[in-house]
Amino acid sequence: MPDRKVDHLLIGGGLASANCARWLREEGARGSILLVGREPDPPYNRPECSKGYLRGEEEREETFFRPNEWWAEQDVELLLRTSVTALDAERRKAKLSNKQEVEFDTALLATGANVRRLNVDGCHLEQIHYLRTLGNADAIREAVADAEHVVLIGGSYIGCEVAASISKLGKRATIVMQEQQTLERGFGASAGTFFQRLLEEHGVTVHGEDELERFEGSERVERVITRGGLELVADAVVIGAGVTPDVQLAKQAGLELGERGGVRCDSRLATSAAGIFAAGDICEYESLVHGGAHVRIEHWDVAFNQGKTAALNILGRDVAHTEVPYFYSVFADWGELEYVGPAYAWDEEVVRGSFADRAFTNWYLQDGVVKAALTFGRSDELDAARRLITQRTALDQAQRTALADVDSDLQQL
């Protein structure tokens, strides 16, 4: 016998679950909603962990998805510091770490992602940090307060954003990364060079085409040694080496997984088990705007919007998730990038505006078809980019020339 029964079980205490709860209520769900999350904090906006919250400019409560009283007002039960330890997809039952068994009618699986850990010599020394949670941000903020030199491992979003925040706090930030240019894996070498210069101009040192070899120190980290032979003084280290979707529970429940490591879903975000949906970082869904390709995106806006789509489908509305994935990244108060796509591969880049003027949209095309657009200071062009990505038709030479011309009207393309 289960200990209790709920109408809607939301597994994971992040953004996707939170926004699903919100939309279930906004769309008139009357049944019981239980949100189970293993972190001590209520659902919050994780991006602040590398930005305002890390720099001490924002209070903890300001990062919360909604104020604490909102959950009770909405009659959504929050069960924090609690994990779902097993899921029986057929019988629709879940076991919790508090030993309770919960029966449900529908469930959302939104377990997010875990940081990729680097197992090198010295990795257990003190003041080597990863960043995923508010608790991690607290620990980094404390470490940075006492540090002069902070080394970032990885030149992608976390490495760049944390380097910017630390530099803004007046500390010396040094990035070590495999890439030649920061952020080049997602955006290519030209845009990568632009972002790297932006960081360097603000005092960040970047060592590309190198790799972490080991950490040295007695109790706490003192030096970072790289494969290329660098010995970098480090009072603290933050590792941003990517994340892996947390599909442990999905695997245990026998749900179908996808090629990108996530939980395979259809365009309605339904998993292979009836009544169970997925959203956010783990969700590998059939994207109709990408011609039915399965995509999985680890970004805020996608988790947010998928929470809504999942809620609508939990309520039987039968709607496809057709948002063009959007993401952003912020370099302290020096600027912000925005991107729609994603382009997993491209054979042409077209720049509209200029890197030198710090106002550009970089378009990524494959066989003449717009796959993605990255903008810095030209956000107004994102709507046209969304339309062109959805359109999926090849642009001719004249259209590609117009794409590059800031005086041409993108609506005409």
Of residues 42, 63, 71, 111, which one binds ligand FAD by CB under 6 A? 111
Of the ranges 104-112, 196-204, 375-383, 391-399, which one interacts with ligand FAD (CB under 6 A)? 104-112
Smallest distance from the beta carbon of 118 to ligand FAD, in angstroms?
16
Coil, helix or strand at residue 92: coil
Smallest distance from the beta carbon of 339 to ligand FAD, in angstroms?
9
Cβ contact 338:327 at 8 Å? yes
Q: Please, which residue, 175 or 249, has the CB nearer to ligand FAD? A: 249
Of residues 9, 20, 83, 362, which one binds ligand FAD by CB under 6 A? 83
Coil, helix or strand at residue 406: coil
End-to-end Cα separation, the chain, in angstroms:
61
User: One-letter amino acid identity for 322?
Assistant: T
Contacts with ligand FAD: how many residues (CB under 6 A)?
Answer: 37
Cβ contact 411:387 at 8 Å? no
Cα–Cα distance measured from residue 378 to residue 349, given in angstroms and rounded to the nearest whole number: 16
Q: Please, which residue, 70 or 328, has the CB nearer to ligand FAD? A: 328
Subset of 206-235 contacting ligand FAD (CB under 6 A): none
> How many Cα atoms are found within 13 Å in the side-chain-facing hemisphere of 225?
10
Coil, helix or strand at residue 90: coil
Cα–Cα distance measured from residue 166 to residue 114, given in angstroms and rounded to the nearest whole number: 23
Residue 24 found at the interface with ligand FAD (CB under 6 A): no
Residue 324 found at the interface with ligand FAD (CB under 6 A): no
The pattern of x and - marking residues 282 through 301 that bind ligand FAD according to CB under 6 A reads: ----------------xxxx
Residue 341 found at the interface with ligand FAD (CB under 6 A): no
169 phi and psi, to 5 degrees?
-80, 5
Q: Please, which residue, 41 or 216, has the CB nearer to ligand FAD? A: 41
Of residues 38, 66, 172, 185, which one binds ligand FAD by CB under 6 A? 38
Residue 264 found at the interface with ligand FAD (CB under 6 A): no
Spatial CA neighbour of 178 closest among 159, 199, 197, 202: 159
Cα–Cα distance measured from residue 129 to residue 94, given in angstroms and rounded to the nearest whole number: 33
Residue 236 found at the interface with ligand FAD (CB under 6 A): no
Of the ranges 11-19, 217-225, 309-317, 388-396, which one interacts with ligand FAD (CB under 6 A)? 11-19
Residue 263 found at the interface with ligand FAD (CB under 6 A): no
Residue 311 found at the interface with ligand FAD (CB under 6 A): no
Of the ranges 179-187, 216-224, 321-329, 353-361, which one interacts with ligand FAD (CB under 6 A)? 321-329
- Asked if omega into 245 is within 30° of 0 (cis), the reply is no
The pattern of x and - marking residues 126 through 165 that bind ligand FAD according to CB under 6 A reads: -----xx-------------------------x-------
User: One-letter amino acid identity for 43?
Assistant: P
Cα–Cα distance measured from residue 230 to residue 76, given in angstroms and rounded to the nearest whole number: 52
Coil, helix or strand at residue 17: helix
For the record, the structure tokens of 13 come out as 């205490």
User: Cβ contacts of residue 42 below 8 Å, gap of 6+?
Assistant: 13, 64, 65, 66, 68, 71, 78, 80
Of residues 287, 329, 362, 375, which one binds ligand FAD by CB under 6 A? 329
Smallest distance from the beta carbon of 219 to ligand FAD, in angstroms?
26
> How many Cα atoms are found within 13 Å in the side-chain-facing hemisphere of 394?
8
Residues that bind ligand FAD (CB under 6 A): 11-17, 36-39, 46-47, 49-50, 83-84, 110-113, 131-132, 158, 246, 249, 280-281, 298-301, 303, 327-330
